[in-house]
Chains A and B, each alone.
Chain A
Amino acid sequence: MRVLSRLSCCLAALLLTACGGKPGDAQLVVYTARAEHLIQPLLLRYTEETGIPIRFVTDKAGPLLARLAAEGEATQADVLITVDAGNLWQAAQQDLLQAIDSPILEANVPAHLRDPEDRWFGLSLRARTIIHSTERVDPEELNTYAGLADDRWRGRLCLRTSKEVYNQSLVATMIASGGETETETLVRGWVDNLAAPPFASDTQVIEAIAAGQCDLGLVNSYYLGRLQRQQPDLPVALFWPDQAAGERGVHVNVSGAGVTRHSPRPEAARAFIEWLSAGEAQRLFASLNLEYPVNPEVAPAPLVAAWGEFRADDINLSTAGELQAAAVRLMDRAGYH
């Protein structure tokens, strides 16, 4: 039994040593759904430049919002960073963010990439676009997102699951521009064209196209960038749809940030988000994940720039949040799983 008592002592010691360590006032606390390796280099640099230490926790957006809601006024968090406009919209909707009055952010972030009420600001831009086999698809055959529902692609299309928020945002903005009925017909057309059941990730979609399981699909551009770093001669290429006059343009989404409703240090939080929106920080924020900077003054990484220029859809991204639930229901009805 000596073992047992020794073990209980260990347990008690463990619990006690783990206590303490309250964050002081001279620092920031960040809750981030953007993965650690994409955000930590920026946090370190900010601390280097300003002397302000930053603590952060990572989690998925859903649990982070639930955590903020449960903590209420007692929260230590100052800044919420998350991917996808739908999540940002939802955070604002649940009154977890406060409005930021910042001329700097208004100048750096284009109007359609931020909340109309200034509760969140996009910081990097991701384009969800068509990817196709360079061996089996002539880019001349491609035109729009809607075109993927065309009969000629029967048994040739690969899609990621509709559980992925990027697809939900895409369909939400399609509802906004084309209406619900038309979008549902179109999504049914996509489902009819599938060569394989929907995949769990964009990377799998690209690999399936490269392997010949299907000929084209929809992905966020940075997933191709990552694969190209390892295998530069993958037989696939991006195509920018909906570029003709009167068409909607390429669907873009953001990862972005806001100041929490009960932030203990809202001024410092605002300054940090402002810092992220310009100059070297803005370049790094986007290029760490091969995304596009939101600030038009900042150039994207060379690998990203090599994919060519495109005209992006300029619908305000809060629409993606407002219509996300409608998009999910629509995809359920259309049998897009």
Chain B
Amino acid sequence: MATAPPLQPDLGAAKLPARALRGPERGAGWHLVALAIAMPALAVLLVVAAALLRPDGEVWAHLSAHVLPRASWNTLWLVLGVGLGVSVLGTGLAALVALCEFPGRAFFAWALLLPLAVPAYVLATVYIGLFDYAGPLQTLLREHLPGVPGIEVRNRWGVMAVLVLALYPYVYLVVRNALASQGARLMEVARLLGHRPGQAFRRAALPLALPWIGGGTLLAMMETLADFGAVAAFNYDTLTTAIYRTWYGLFSVSGALQIAAVLLLFVLALLALEQRARAGQRFVTLGAAPVQRRRLAPRGAWLATLICGLVWLLAFALPVSQLLLWALREIDSLDRRYWLLAANSLQLALGAALLLPALALTLSWAQRRAPSAAMGWLARLATLGYAMPGALLAVAFFAAAGTLLKVFPDLAGLLRGSILLLLTAYAVRFLAVAATPVNGAALRLKPSIEEAARNLGVSGFRLFLRVHLPLLRGGVLTAALLVFVDVMKEMPITLMTRPFGWDTLAVRIFEFTTEGQWQRAALPALAIVAVGLLPTYWLHRGSEHAPLS
């Protein structure tokens, strides 16, 4: 919700006759539902906020003098750079694939999603391995051109490039769906009004895709804030590395939580600003005519193929080939256990991919039924976990859960060995990922459909099930896909919260990387990509063919 506001009550919705039927007590009910969904996140945020009450003066004095200025500056650069990069790359690719026809378009439409399945820390390690001084590329250069100076890739631009390649699919996926369902129609209208294609895109399709571009970009920026794996591989100091340094090096968990609290306040402000910027805008879907993509002239068409191919190569084919080469050396260690690990990963990811979109849908629905300022804040707080470094979130979650279990010891027996806790923690971490596409889709529900349905005597839950849910299908499937791949890749929360016997592929990667054995980690990393491929394809098909209303 972070990214997609509820329809404001003062924008005409209240004039609908159906709304008049809604009593105040009904609104209270919806507020309770939203509160229940946000509760785990609120508990975690409470633990974080509570740390602010016990400031550790000595640690703070040191951090603010020697660590935070540099870390904040680096973080600012990285978040802005990645934000700009993913919005341009993601939107550009989405526009090509959704609005134009060129050789290979059908392949790229889903292939450009595949980098979603490659964890950012894997991409970072592969890129450093390939392109740093000791890597094959520079070694070859030196052999053939003696005297060439070494090029340092472990810097701000390197880590920015890697994160853009890893995170652009968030923007791509969300914007592509938005453009595919309405962009082409708008383009047509703009063309009829005499605009050239480029103009038509800039003046008609782009402005109307802005909420989706903003939503996807915000997701990527939050993920960047929380990222530890990629920045650690580049040894690029951000607020996240400062958090871990404070925790592991200075042994101050409370100091770490305090940095996180300040970080989250900024994110909250950012979310509120974004919402305010969009307040007053309304979006409804146009008619459901089949989308007619524009056939590009030969030169333009091949350029489009080249661009898509290059991105796909850099973000997916190259790193996966490197993983394959590494994995082949370790192929002996591929044993039956991998089936179990893959099955665990799959179950957890599927469980979350069912649960989280359902939560996001309910929350979005609650916002629609009972819009209020309190509701808006609940929805925003519930998604804040996505901007928090995973391991710290795990600790805060564990502390909150530990307190709960001490108060209700009977619950402990029930929860011990169950993955319920783990799924709850995933919900705290990834609700933003589910909420962005769901809210994006909900933005375009037409009030007139609701009216028509009510006139036909369909209302309440049946209205939702029969009318809204089918219309929201595309958004829900996108949410499920994003949650699925994110949970497959998730490491710190799984490590800390999993019951005995619930080792996953990501846990297997951890076992090797914690010892610096990157090549041995290639096999489980590849398995994550492989397990992620099928659902990515399936959900892609589902979301591309979703009814557009």
Contacts and interface: CB of A to CB of B under 8 A. Distances in A.
A98 interface: no
Contacts of A72: 402, 406
Contact of B354 (A11, A22, A93, A201): A11
A20 B518 CA distance: 35
Contact of B250 (A36, A58, A325): A325
A210 B62 contact: no
Contacts of A4: 469
A58 B516 contact: no
Interface stretch (A160-168, A182-190, A302-310): A160-168
A71 B351 contact: no
Contact of A66 (B245, B253, B469): B253
A234 to B, nearest CB: 12
B232 A59 contact: no
Given A18-B419, A19-B417, A200-B233, 18 more contacts: A7-B354, A11-B351, A14-B351, A14-B419, A37-B511, A55-B501, A58-B507, A58-B511, A62-B248, A66-B398, A70-B399, A70-B402, A163-B232, A163-B244, A163-B249, A201-B516, A203-B518, A328-B250
Contacts of B501: 21, 55
Interface stretch (A144-152, A191-199, A259-267, A277-285): A191-199
A35 interface: yes
A29 B417 CA distance: 14
A38 B241 CA distance: 27
A36 B391 CA distance: 19
A57 interface: yes
B139 interface: yes
A302 B73 CA distance: 49
Interface in B258-303: none
B420 interface: yes
Chain A at the B interface: mostly helix, strand, loop or mixed?
Answer: helix
A134 interface: no
B133 interface: yes
Contacts of A58: 495, 507, 510-511
Contacts of A36: 511
21 contacts: A15-B423, A21-B499, A22-B417, A35-B511, A35-B514, A35-B515, A57-B498, A58-B495, A62-B247, A66-B253, A70-B398, A74-B406, A163-B244, A165-B248, A196-B152, A197-B152, A202-B516, A204-B134, A207-B134, A213-B150, A329-B250
B381 interface: no
A223 interface: yes
Report, as a range, how many residues of chain A touch the other chain. Answer: 35 or more
Contacts of B139: 211
B164 interface: no
Contacts of A333: 66
B537 interface: no
A1 interface: yes
A112 interface: no
Interface string A1-26: 10010011011001100111111000
Contact of B394 (A14, A63, A201, A226): A63
Interface of A: 1, 4, 7-8, 10-11, 14-15, 18-23, 29, 33, 35-38, 55, 57-63, 66-67, 70-72, 74, 90, 93, 161, 163, 165, 168, 196-204, 207-208, 210-213, 223, 226, 289, 324-325, 328-329, 332-333, 337
Contact of A55 (B128, B150, B469, B500): B500
A1 B515 contact: no
B153 to A, nearest CB: 11
Interface in B418-472: 418-420, 423, 465, 469
Contacts of A201: 516
Nearest to B510: A58
Nearest to A58: B511
B527 to A, nearest CB: 16
User: Which of B142, B247, B350, B402 is most buried by chain A, counting CB atoms within 10 A of its CB?
Assistant: B402
Nearest to B403: A70
Closest 9 CB pairs of A and B: A211-B134, A70-B402, A328-B249, A332-B66, A207-B134, A213-B133, A18-B419, A201-B516, A59-B495
B495 A18 contact: no
Chain B at the A interface: mostly helix, strand, loop or mixed?
Answer: helix
B227 interface: no
Interface in B487-524: 492, 495-496, 498-502, 507, 510-512, 514-518
Contact of A19 (B232, B398, B414): B414
B66 A67 contact: no
Contacts of B351: 11, 14-15
A57 B494 CA distance: 11
Nearest to A211: B134
B535 to A, nearest CB: 13
A18 B418 contact: yes
Interface residues of B, number: 70
B237 A337 contact: yes
A329 B391 contact: no
A223 B399 contact: no
Contact of A60 (B235, B391, B499): B391
B420 A200 contact: no
B114 interface: no
Contacts of B414: 19
Nearest to A220: B516
A90 B251 contact: yes
Contacts of A197: 152, 154-155, 235
A211 B237 CA distance: 26
A70 B497 CA distance: 12
Interface in B128-151: 128, 132-134, 139, 142, 150
Given A18-B418, A211-B134, A1 B465 contact: yes
Interface of B: 62, 66-67, 128, 132-134, 139, 142, 150, 152, 154-155, 232-235, 237, 241, 244-245, 247-253, 347, 350-351, 354-355, 391, 394-395, 398-399, 401-402, 405-406, 409, 412, 414, 416-420, 423, 465, 469, 492, 495-496, 498-502, 507, 510-512, 514-518
Contact of A21 (B67, B417, B492, B512): B417
A208 B354 contact: no
Contacts of B134: 204, 207-208, 210-211, 213
A161 B418 CA distance: 38
A59 B402 contact: no
A37 B245 CA distance: 27
Contacts of A328: 245, 249-250
A65 B154 CA distance: 32
A328 B251 CA distance: 10
User: Which of A4, A18, A36, A204 is most buried by chain B, counting CB atoms within 10 A of its CB?
Assistant: A18
B354 A10 contact: yes
A267 B512 CA distance: 32
B253 A199 contact: no
A165 B244 CA distance: 12
Nearest to B253: A66
A11 B417 contact: no
Given A66-B395, A67-B496, A329 B515 contact: no
Contact of A63 (B154, B355, B391, B515): B391
User: Which of B252, B414, B416, B423 is most buried by chain A, counting CB atoms within 10 A of its CB?
Assistant: B416
Contacts of A198: 235
Given A14-B347, A58-B495, A58-B507, A332 B514 contact: no
A212 B409 CA distance: 60
B235 A199 contact: yes
A38 B515 contact: yes
A212 B134 CA distance: 8
B402 A329 contact: no
A200 B245 contact: no
A63 B420 CA distance: 20
A325 B500 contact: no
A25 B548 CA distance: 58
Contacts of B247: 62
